[in-house]
């Protein structure tokens, strides 16, 4: 089976800084792939390159076997099978249009009657515990957590085969976070979607991803099957990341 | 007791009616201790901070509440009740450090301003030295150079350090940190929390840490208070509450946390996450009985009628929760 995403030797410099310094990785179809690393390590730049929003200086990206082509037509075609959930939900919501307008656009792109789109939307909103009335609001009228879920609902509405989520749970309450992750897990099981999750939440990454890579300064410094990657990390940096995780320490029931 | 807050109640007037954001919330923080105030979004935890600082929005009104800070009493229902304490007795660290830093002034100018209020009459040279010293204390590299830089030239973690240095200079009796590390990486988060603890130990102030991360609270705090829909449901030492949560909501919150060493299903798509089903009650119309009744997994008939009082939990002094199951018949 062709890989969902194959990146070989991706290089990109912003002035003096190497944002991507020869990144190579392959993401098999139908799996969840994690990209871990702190800000400035190149995670988001890599995501933007895969979406075709950022040209590489060197290297190649293949999506479902086909080389990534730049240009409006190619970008539009890609939208039907690869969808992003941006870190900043405001980036995917226009401040000047109601959420309904945004969702209707999905129907237009998919050439689907609005009634059918809204039928699917109702199910997705329910799963994300968003009130149905949310679609008549403007982005500034909803809370940050709601905006994030709206952005996720929009991405899911496109029925993509690859979903790339940049910090999908940052800033969400534990309970809402659980809801969202269960939904993503559900979608993976029922629709055989490829999920790429960029996050520094290692605890969650361990549980949802099959494979993951750790990035630092534009490089993949370590990668592999999640169980062994987090179970016995080889790199000092990966161990530091794991050690920095605030954990609920087990309490001594007698003391 | 350095800080105590009594019966804080805050209303927001909205187009659709009056929302009761806080109902009779009381907190106590000992000098030199850190209290973690946890709750979901919409629980009113930031409103507590804003009411104390006098930063509430125009449509908010404190209907009841008094605070004792550093031995002085304040009636919070009065506008600007704590104005005298801002920059001297109280300091606040926001989630977004850019909220506290002015983009058009250098770091040095802004730290100098704190000192003009804190140490009036001091000459400029002394103030610069004090500011540089504070930047060095929060482990910001190259303090002398930072003094002449603007906030946009610094990373998020560095800006947060500048804000902590600012708080350090004002030597507060109460430091409020509202989600101070939410916008930062885990490794930076640990460093920033260490700086906050360093500040607390140096100044000997009380710290109110507002967060939704129980991981942070159990790692760094001495005591915990759990807020839900504007009401305090449980409080006690972190150890006691973690060992024996008195309120079902606290227990459910702890269950939702994902430990880094949780058992992992070999097929990753089979791993599922714990949630608290249901939604927050409408803040305009409080349902009768226990506020958590609608989402509770162990509620009984009486819970829908009787609003529970604050009952002691276990034998740990100061550990109490508002759950009817704790009431001794």
Domain of B48, CATH number, reads: 3.40.50.300
Q: What number of C-beta contacts closer than 8 Å exist between A and B?
A: 120
B48 vs B53: CA distance, rounded Å: 9
Q: How many CB atoms lie within 10 A of CB A19?
A: 24
| Burial class of residue A63 in the structure, from the number of CB atoms within 10 Å of its CB (0-12 exposed, 13-18 middle, 19+ buried) | buried
Helix then strand count (H, E) for chain B reads 9, 12
Runs of H (alpha helix) within B143-291: 143-146, 156-169, 186-203, 214-220, 238-243, 248-256
Residues paired with B234 in a beta bridge: B226, B321
Q: Is the Cβ pair A227, B185 closer than 8 Å?
A: no
Tell me how close the Cα of A212 comes to any Cα of chain B, in angstroms.
Answer: 12
Tens of pLDDT, residues A68-126:
998 888 888 888 899 998 877 776 788 899 999 999 999 988 889 999 999 999 988 88
Angle at B296 between CA B294 and CA B299, to 5 degrees: 95
Is the pLDDT assigned to residue B24 strictly greater than 50?
A: yes
- A145 closest CB neighbour out of B41, B185, B257: B41
Best of B186, B252, B282 to disrupt the A interface (most A CBs within 10 Å) is B186
SS3 B191: helix
Contact list, A39 vs chain B (CB under 8 Å) = 155-156, 185
Q: What is the reported pTM?
A: 0.86
State the virtual CA torsion across A131, A136, A139, A144 in degrees, nearest 10: -10
**What secondary structure letter does DSSP report for B102?**
-
Specify whether the CB–CB gap between B285 and A227 falls below 8 A: no
Runs of H (alpha helix) within B89-185: 107-118, 124-137, 143-146, 156-169
How confident is the model over B93-111, as a mean pLDDT? 91
Sign of CA dihedral B145, B146, B148, B149: positive
pLDDT over 70, % of chain B: 99
Specify whether the CB–CB gap between A157 and A103 falls below 8 A: yes
Domain of B47? 3-228
Chain mean pLDDT for chain A: 87
Asked whether residue B186 falls in the same domain as residue B246, the answer is no
Asked whether residue B174 falls in the same domain as residue B28, the answer is yes
Asked whether residue B107 falls in the same domain as residue B200, the answer is yes
Asked whether residue B252 falls in the same domain as residue B167, the answer is no
Residue at B137 is within a domain: yes
Contact list, B270 vs chain A (CB under 8 Å) = 185
SS3 B1: coil
Contact list, A251 vs chain B (CB under 8 Å) = 239, 242-243
Last residue of a domain, one of B213, B228, B243: B228
Q: Pick from A28, A43, A2: which is nearest to A165 by CA?
A: A43
Best of A248, A250, A255 to disrupt the B interface (most B CBs within 10 Å) is A248
B157 vs B191: CA distance, rounded Å: 9
Tell me how close the Cα of A42 comes to any Cα of chain B, in angstroms.
Answer: 14
Asked whether residue B250 falls in the same domain as residue B109, the answer is no
B39 vs A173: CA distance, rounded Å: 8
Tell me how close the Cα of B187 comes to any Cα of chain A, in angstroms.
Answer: 5
A113 vs B157: CA distance, rounded Å: 48
Specify whether the CB–CB gap between A33 and A27 falls below 8 A: yes
Residue at B23 is within a domain: yes
Q: Is the Cβ pair B253, A174 closer than 8 Å?
A: yes
Tell me how close the Cα of B243 comes to any Cα of chain A, in angstroms.
Answer: 6
Asked whether residue B221 falls in the same domain as residue B310, the answer is no
Query: What's the token pair of residue A4?
Result: 């969902």
Angle at B55 between CA B51 and CA B61, to 5 degrees: 55
**Buried-exposed string A162-182: b where 16+ CB fall within 10 A, e elsewhere:** bbbbbbbbbbbbbbbbbbbbb
Contact list, B276 vs chain A (CB under 8 Å) = 175
Residue at B67 is within a domain: yes
Asked whether residue B95 falls in the same domain as residue B222, the answer is yes
Q: How many CB atoms lie within 10 A of CB B17?
A: 11
Contact list, A144 vs chain B (CB under 8 Å) = 41
Query: What's the token pair of residue B20?
Result: 């009761």
Of A80 and B307, more confident: B307
Specify whether the CB–CB gap between A9 and A59 falls below 8 A: yes
Q: Is the Cβ pair B186, A178 closer than 8 Å?
A: no
Is the pLDDT assigned to residue A255 strictly greater than 50?
A: no
Residue at B75 is within a domain: yes
Asked whether residue B169 falls in the same domain as residue B249, the answer is no
A127 vs A120: CA distance, rounded Å: 11
Runs of H (alpha helix) within A128-196: 144-157, 174-191
Q: Is the Cβ pair B186, A170 closer than 8 Å?
A: no
Specify whether the CB–CB gap between B246 and B315 falls below 8 A: no
Is the pLDDT assigned to residue B195 strictly greater than 60?
A: yes
How confident is the model over B137-162, as a mean pLDDT? 91
Distance of CA B135 to the CA centre of its chain: 24
Asked whether residue B38 falls in the same domain as residue B137, the answer is yes
Q: Is the Cβ pair A207, B268 closer than 8 Å?
A: yes
Q: Is the Cβ pair A185, B271 closer than 8 Å?
A: yes
Asked whether residue B219 falls in the same domain as residue B252, the answer is no
Residue A250 is predicted with a pLDDT of 53
A255 vs B162: CA distance, rounded Å: 39
B42 vs B228: CA distance, rounded Å: 8
Contact list, B253 vs chain A (CB under 8 Å) = 174-175
Residue at B321 is within a domain: yes
Q: How many domains does chain B have?
A: 2
Residue at B269 is within a domain: no
Residue at B270 is within a domain: no
Of B266 and B29, more confident: B29
Tens of pLDDT, residues B42-74:
889 999 999 999 989 999 999 999 999 988 999
Q: How many CB atoms lie within 10 A of CB B141?
A: 10
Residue at B94 is within a domain: yes
- B275 closest CB neighbour out of A38, A39, A182: A182
Tens of pLDDT, residues A117-147:
999 999 888 877 788 889 999 988 887 778 8
Q: Is the Cβ pair A174, B271 closer than 8 Å?
A: no
Contact list, B265 vs chain A (CB under 8 Å) = 207
Is the pLDDT assigned to residue A61 strictly greater than 90?
A: yes
Q: Is the Cβ pair A247, B276 closer than 8 Å?
A: no
pLDDT band at A164 (very low <50, low <70, confident <90, very high): very high
Is the pLDDT assigned to residue B261 strictly greater than 60?
A: yes
Best of A176, A246, A247, A254 to disrupt the B interface (most B CBs within 10 Å) is A246
Asked whether residue B154 falls in the same domain as residue B60, the answer is yes
Residue A21 is predicted with a pLDDT of 93
Asked whether residue B159 falls in the same domain as residue B304, the answer is no
């Amino acid at each position: 089976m062709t890989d969902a995403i194959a990146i070989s030797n991706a290089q990109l410099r912003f002035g003096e800084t190497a944002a991507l310094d020869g990144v190579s990785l392959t993401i098999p179809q139908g799996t969840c792939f994690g990209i871990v690393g702190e800000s400035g390590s190149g995670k988001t730049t890599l995501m933007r390159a895969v979406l075709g929003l950022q040209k590489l200086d060197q290297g190649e990206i293949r999506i479902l076997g086909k080389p990534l082509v730049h240009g409006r037509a190619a970008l539009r075609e890609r939208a039907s099978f690869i969808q992003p959930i941006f870190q900043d939900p405001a980036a995917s919501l226009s401040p000047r249009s109601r959420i309904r307008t945004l969702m209707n656009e999905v129907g237009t792109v998919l050439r689907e009657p609005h009634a059918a789109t809204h039928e699917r939307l109702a199910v997705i909103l329910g799963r994300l515990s968003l009130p149905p009335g949310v679609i008549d609001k403007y982005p500034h009228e909803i809370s940050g957590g709601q905006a994030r879920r709206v952005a996720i609902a929009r991405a899911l509405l496109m029925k993509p085969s690859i979903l790339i989520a940049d910090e999908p749970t940052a800033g969400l309450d534990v309970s809402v976070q659980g809801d969202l992750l269960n939904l993503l897990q559900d979608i993976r099981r029922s629709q055989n979607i490829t999920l790429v999750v960029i996050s520094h939440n290692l605890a969650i990454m361990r549980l949802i991803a099959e494979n993951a890579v750790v990035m630092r300064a534009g490089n993949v410094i370590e990668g592999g099957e999640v169980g062994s990657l987090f179970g016995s990390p080889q790199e000092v940096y990966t161990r530091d990341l794991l050690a920095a995780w605030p954990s609920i320490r087990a309490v001594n029931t007698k003391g | 007791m350095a800080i105590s807050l009594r019966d804080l109640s805050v209303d927001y007037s909205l187009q659709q009616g009056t929302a009761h954001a806080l109902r009779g919330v009381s907190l106590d923080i000992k000098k030199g201790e850190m209290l973690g105030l946890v709750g979901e979004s919409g629980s009113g935890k930031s409103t507590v901070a804003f009411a104390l600082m006098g930063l509430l929005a125009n449509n908010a009104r404190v209907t009841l509440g008094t605070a004792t800070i550093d031995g002085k009493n304040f009636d919070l229902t009065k506008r600007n009740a704590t104005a005298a304490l801002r920059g001297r007795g109280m300091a606040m660290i926001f989630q977004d450090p850019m909220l506290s830093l002015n983009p058009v002034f250098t770091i040095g100018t802004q730290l100098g301003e704190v000192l003009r209020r804190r140490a009036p009459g001091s000459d400029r040279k002394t103030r610069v030295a004090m500011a540089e010293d504070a930047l060095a204390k929060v482990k910001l590299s190259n303090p002398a150079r930072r003094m002449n830089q603007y906030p946009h030239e610094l990373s998020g973690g560095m800006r947060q350090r500048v804000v902590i240095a600012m708080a350090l200079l004002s030597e507060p009796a109460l430091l409020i940190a509202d989600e101070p590390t939410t916008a930062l990486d885990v490794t930076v988060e640990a460093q920033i929390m260490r700086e906050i603890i360093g500040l607390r130990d140096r100044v000997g102030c009380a710290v109110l840490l507002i967060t939704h991360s129980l991981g942070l609270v159990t790692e760094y705090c001495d005591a915990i208070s759990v807020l839900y829909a504007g009401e305090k449901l449980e409080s006690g030492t972190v150890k006691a509450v973690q060992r024996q949560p008195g309120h079902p909501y606290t227990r459910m919150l702890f269950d939702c946390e994902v430990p880094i060493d949780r058992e992992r299903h070999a097929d990753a798509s089979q791993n599922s996450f714990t949630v608290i089903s249901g939604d927050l009650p409408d803040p305009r119309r409080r349902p009768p009985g226990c506020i958590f009744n609608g989402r509770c997994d162990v509620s009984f008939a009486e819970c829908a009628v009787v609003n529970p009082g604050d009952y002691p939990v276990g034998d740990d002094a100061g550990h109490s929760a508002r759950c009817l199951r704790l009431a001794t018949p």
